[in-house]
A = this chain, B = another copy of it.
Amino acid sequence: MARKGYHHGDLRRALVEAALELAHEGGMEQVSVREAARRAGVSPAAPFRHFPDRAALLTAVAEEAMRRFRAEIDRALRRAPDEPLERLEAIGAAYLRWALRNPTHFEIISARRFIRFQSSALLRRDNEEIQAEMRRLLGEARRRGELRALDARTAEIAGRALVYGLARMHLDGHFPSWGVARGAEHRTMLEVLRLFTSGLAKSRYTHTCST
């Protein structure tokens, strides 16, 4: 890992990786610049040659998490059929699955008070591209006459709020007090997602599930 004498080689990357690890172990507030430095084997001051402050390190961590998140969404879209509403549901399902498996990485992307979202071109771009894809799919569904009469912009935000709310409820530990058993989170999320998309669709399958 270390390179020449004591120039580190790639301290920047080592710090981001240590921070990802720390976040994974104990959540965002456990990520400290000093501990990341310690794990990278450098002095407490070294990170400040690479990042102006803690928020900048966390933003770099968010960029790495966002890359992985994007990759997951894209993979799901490649597998999904050509039907716009099914593709939308596939995005939602991939989003939820990722949030469930990587709660802290999900939080790093979402909780913008730790990072400087606006100052990262990567974060802004990936976010916009995901939005644009959703908007395109909704438009396509409408053109095919599959949608109830509703405002597309409102539907878009509703969909995002629903999915974000589900992921956040998990992250913030709300499910136990809402009667969702440990292990049943994923199934519950998918049922909720389906209830929502079936509500957008022109009354087709009226979807009843027992219990």
Residues of chain A whose beta carbon lies under 8 Å from any beta carbon of chain B: 27, 29, 110-113, 117, 124, 127-128, 131, 148-151, 153-158, 160-166, 168-169, 172-174, 177-180, 188, 191-192, 195-196, 199-200, 203, 206-211
Within the complex, which residue of B153, B200, B209 is in contact with A154, where a contact is CB–CB below 8 Å?
A: B209
Closest-CB distance, A197 to chain B (whole angstroms): 10
A192 in contact with B161 given A208-B150, A209-B154 (CB within 8 Å): yes
The chain B residue sitting closest to A193, CB to CB, is B158
Closest-CB distance, A16 to chain B (whole angstroms): 21
Q: List 23 A-B contacts (CB under 8 A).
A: A29-B29, A29-B113, A110-B172, A111-B172, A127-B177, A131-B178, A150-B207, A150-B208, A151-B191, A153-B179, A153-B211, A154-B188, A157-B180, A158-B196, A161-B165, A161-B166, A161-B192, A162-B162, A164-B165, A164-B169, A168-B168, A196-B199, A203-B203
Across the interface, do A210 and B166 meet the contact criterion of CB distance under 8 Å? Answer: no
Q: Which residues of chain B have C-beta atoms less than 8 A from A29's C-beta?
A: 29, 113
Q: Which residues of chain B have C-beta atoms less than 8 A from A131's C-beta?
A: 177-178
The chain B residue sitting closest to A192, CB to CB, is B158
Bound Cα distance A209, B164 (Å): 24
Within the complex, which residue of B128, B155, B165 is in contact with A166, where a contact is CB–CB below 8 Å?
A: B165
The listed residue with most B CB atoms (<10 A of its CB), out of A160, A165, A179, A180, is A165
Bound Cα distance A126, B173 (Å): 16
Q: Which residues of chain B have C-beta atoms less than 8 A from A157's C-beta?
A: 178, 180, 188, 192
Across the interface, do A158 and B153 meet the contact criterion of CB distance under 8 Å? Answer: no
Bound Cα distance A111, B174 (Å): 9
Bound Cα distance A80, B172 (Å): 30
Across the interface, do B111 and A211 meet the contact criterion of CB distance under 8 Å? Answer: no
Q: Which 10 A-B pairs have the closest CB atoms?
A: A165-B165, A199-B199, A161-B165, A164-B165, A112-B173, A158-B192, A161-B166, A154-B191, A151-B209, A162-B162
